[in-house]
Every structure is written in C-alpha cells, then in structure tokens.
Amino acid sequence: MKKIFYLLMIISLVSCCKDKKIGTNEEKKNSIIVDSNNINVSILIDLSDRIDPETNPNPTMEYYQRDTEYIKAIERGFLNHIKSKKIITYDDQMQVFFNPEPSDPKMNDFTKDLKVSFNRDIPRSYFDSVEKKYAELPLNIYQSAIKDKSFVGSDIWEFFKNKISDYCIKDDHRNILFILTDGYMYHDDSKFSEKSKTSYLTPNLIRSQKLTASDYKTVIEKNEYGFVKANDNLKNLEVIVLGINPKKGNPFEEGVIKEYWENWFKEMKIKKYQIKSADLPSNLEPIILKAISGN
C-alpha cells in the first residue's frame, strides 16, 4: 500500500509541474501580444490658415516651420526605436495624413512617399532614404499649401469618426497618433451640434459660451459643453497633440481648448494622451522622443 501511495504522490507532483509549465508558457505568449514592441506611428496635419505666415505670423519661428521640425523629431524617434530592436523583430510603420485630402496631386504623392514600413528584409540603406524623405517632403507640403492659398482646413472630427480605426490602429502594435493643429476644430462638411455639444471649436464659440473667466471648467461641466463623441472605443491608441495656439484676448482660451480635447479623449476611452502648446521644437523634441520610446 505504501508503494502505491508514493507512486500516486509522484504522478500527482509531475502532473502539477507540467500544468505549471504550460501556464507559464501561456502567460509568456500573452505577454508578448500585450507588450508588443512594434509601433505604428501616424501624423495628422491640420492644413488650415493657421500655417499661413501672413495670417498668423510669428517672428521667432513661423508655425509651419515649427511643424516641420516636430515631424523631423517624430521621424528621429521612430528610427531610434527601430534601431534599438533586433532586425528579425522589425514590423513597424509610419505615415502622414490630411483630412480631407488636398486636391493637388503632388500632395497625395508626398503622403505616399512618407508612408514607410520596416520589416526583417529591409536593407540598411532604407534608413537613409527615410531620413531624406522626412527632411525634404514635409517642408514641400507646407510650402505648397501656403503658395496655393487654398487652405483646405482639417476635418479632425470626421477623421476620428470614420477613418482613425482603419488608418491608425493595427493589432499587436503600439499605435501612436500625432496631431499637428492649433487646437481649434472646424470644417464646413462636419459642422453640427447635439444639444450643448458641437463637432467644432472656434474663438467665436468660446466667447458665445462665456468661457472667458477662471471658472471656465465649472461652466463647461455645468452646461455639458464639449465635442460630440466621434468614436466609442479607442483604448488601443495613444495621442499627442502638438501646436495649441490660442487667439489673443482671452487669457483662459488655451485652458478651454485643452479641456475640450481632454474630455473628448476620455469619452473615446483614450487612456494615454498629451496636449502641448506651439512651443519651440527644441523644447518639444524631448517630449516627442519620450512619447515614442514609451519610457
């Protein structure tokens, strides 16, 4: 009987060890999926008249020049991330979007050239070609838009409603979206309201809602002001807004703009986001690099 008892004990212990090993392997497998080191970086550019040096001049550094330097910093962060990985693990991409698409075919060609993907078969020379593209093409985009004077604006609300899930979110990737905008949101094709919420935000709207005093947060909460929710669940997306630039005359304008965006992101279940003012690129570059590295 003792021999049988000891035999059963040994069988039981072996079985438990196997189950534990299987569980550990399963946990590792799940961990790899959740903690994927592959990134999918998107840049959404607001080509409204905010970039026009005649309409919105800045003697220190024009806003379109700040944008192009932000984009270069994003590209540097992207390439730094890839260089930190083993070649066999490359599965990363970066792209630039406008919404709506400009009518100028050149602009659409620029965006095609700025869509870059890295996989294990990419030659080393591809790094240099990406650096060259991102050093030249973004400036061409802004110069073309300024020269044409046909500022199409940016339908950011519609982009979040109908395109962001397909364009900016990939399974098993960290999905990071940079939005280059002054923080105001307006486009004729998507201008509407639902009760006290709107699909747009302009200086006139802020004034009409009397959001011009230090109690603006209380007023926003009490009256349920804000953007109309454009998407139900964007928990797999990180967003960094760069370039917030409030109009002069209301010392609380920037706070109102940021409150609108923050509440909007929370409604759409975006957990990681940052909203930064139109600071000099040298000040924002460390923030951009850190956002991409995830450290």
Write the pLDDT tens digit of every residue in 231-274. 999 999 999 999 999 999 999 999 999 999 999 999 999 999 99
Closest CA relative to residue 188, chosen from 153, 159, 223? 153
Q: Which of 2-6, 15-19, 245-249 has the highest mean pLDDT?
A: 245-249
Instruction: Determine the residue type at 122.
Output: I
Q: Which pLDDT does position 128 carry in this prediction?
A: 96
CB atoms within 10 A of CB 151: 17
* Cα gap 46→151, rounded to integer Å: 9
101-105, 111-115, 165-169: which has the minimum mean pLDDT? Answer: 101-105
What average pLDDT does the structure give for the chain?
89
CB atoms within 10 A of CB 234: 23
Instruction: Determine the residue type at 87.
Output: I
The three-class DSSP label of residue 75 is: helix
Model confidence pLDDT, tens digit, residues 66-76: 999 999 999 99
Backbone angles phi and psi of 258, in degrees to 5: -65, -35
Handedness of CA 147, 43, 46, 243 (dihedral sign): negative
Residues in the chain: 295
Instruction: Determine the residue type at 229.
Output: K
10-19, 91-100, 177-186: which has the minimum mean pLDDT? Answer: 10-19
Which whole-number Å values give the CA distances from 147 to 74, 143, 215, 224, in the listed order?
Answer: 25, 6, 41, 40
Q: Which pLDDT does position 6 carry in this prediction?
A: 44
Q: Which pLDDT does position 36 carry in this prediction?
A: 64
Can you give the pTM of this predicted structure? Answer: 0.87
* Cα gap 83→218, rounded to integer Å: 47
Q: Which pLDDT does position 103 carry in this prediction?
A: 75
Is pLDDT larger for residue 145 or for residue 241?
Answer: 241
Average pLDDT score over residue span 218-237:
97
Give 112's pLDDT tier (boundaries 50, 70, 90).
Answer: very high
Question: Is 154 a residue whose pLDDT tops 90?
Answer: no
Give 194's pLDDT tier (boundaries 50, 70, 90).
Answer: very high
Q: Which pLDDT does position 100 carry in this prediction?
A: 86
